[in-house]
């Protein structure tokens, strides 16, 4: 079964699926996350961690402090159910936390994907699992196959 949204990708990583097939724009973002160099990734991960930690803590006030768009119950607003991408305000919070480096390094689509995957999986460890626990075995313009190492 092909995965087309960040939430499902996060769940697949959390479950430890042996093979994950990612399609569409999510495939491009996945490759971008996977291919980012180690030093650049450390910068991105620090900024993403701040946003994901505040979100998972459930505080609407804390989410607002990071620039994330919060609704009544402390939930971040999702811009698109199809991509699972966070609202632009949430990305702005990450960009501010990293001096804009995370958005510049990954690009906005991959950054929103990374945040949504981490939230769906319950933490940023899923992003490290994606980068270190899986390898890309097949890649095309709109499809990526990941196999567990």
| Structure confidence by residue, pLDDT tens digits, 80-131 | 333 344 444 455 555 555 557 888 899 888 998 999 999 999 999 999 999 9
Residues 19 and 110: their CA atoms lie apart, in Å, by 21
Residues 115 and 54: their CA atoms lie apart, in Å, by 12
Average pLDDT for residues 59-71, to the nearest whole number? 43
Residues 27 and 126: their CA atoms lie apart, in Å, by 16
State the residue for tokens 């459930």.
58
pLDDT at residue 133, rounded to an integer: 97
pLDDT at residue 23, rounded to an integer: 97
pLDDT at residue 78, rounded to an integer: 39
CB 33 within 8 A of CB 13: no
pLDDT of residue 148 exceeding 90, the answer is: yes
Orientation angle between helical segments 108-121 and 25-35, nearest 10 degrees: 90
pLDDT at residue 77, rounded to an integer: 40
Structural domain of 32: 2-148
Taking the model in full, what pTM does it have? 0.76
pLDDT of residue 17 exceeding 90, the answer is: yes
Average pLDDT for residues 121-144, to the nearest whole number? 95
3-state secondary structure 124-137: CHHHHHHHHHEEEE
Average pLDDT, the chain: 79
Question: How many structural domains comprise the chain?
Answer: 1
Alpha helices in the chain (DSSP H): 6-15, 25-35, 38-57, 60-65, 88-97, 101-106, 108-121, 125-133
């Amino acid at each position: 079964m092909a995965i087309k949204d960040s939430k499902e990708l996060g769940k697949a990583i959390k479950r430890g699926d042996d093979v994950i097939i990612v399609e569409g724009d999510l495939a491009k973002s996945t490759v971008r996350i996977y291919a980012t160099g180690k030093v650049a990734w450390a910068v991105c991960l620090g900024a993403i961690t701040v946003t994901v930690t505040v979100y998972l803590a459930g505080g609407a006030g804390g989410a607002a402090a990071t620039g994330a768009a919060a609704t009544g119950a402390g939930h971040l607003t999702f811009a698109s159910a199809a991509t699972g991408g966070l609202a632009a305000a949430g990305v702005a919070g990450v960009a501010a936390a990293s001096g804009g480096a995370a958005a510049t390094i990954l690009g906005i689509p991959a950054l929103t994907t990374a945040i949504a995957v981490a939230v769906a999986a319950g933490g940023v460890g899923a992003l490290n699992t994606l980068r270190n626990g899986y390898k890309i075995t097949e890649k095309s313009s709109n499809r990526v196959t990941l196999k567990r190492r």
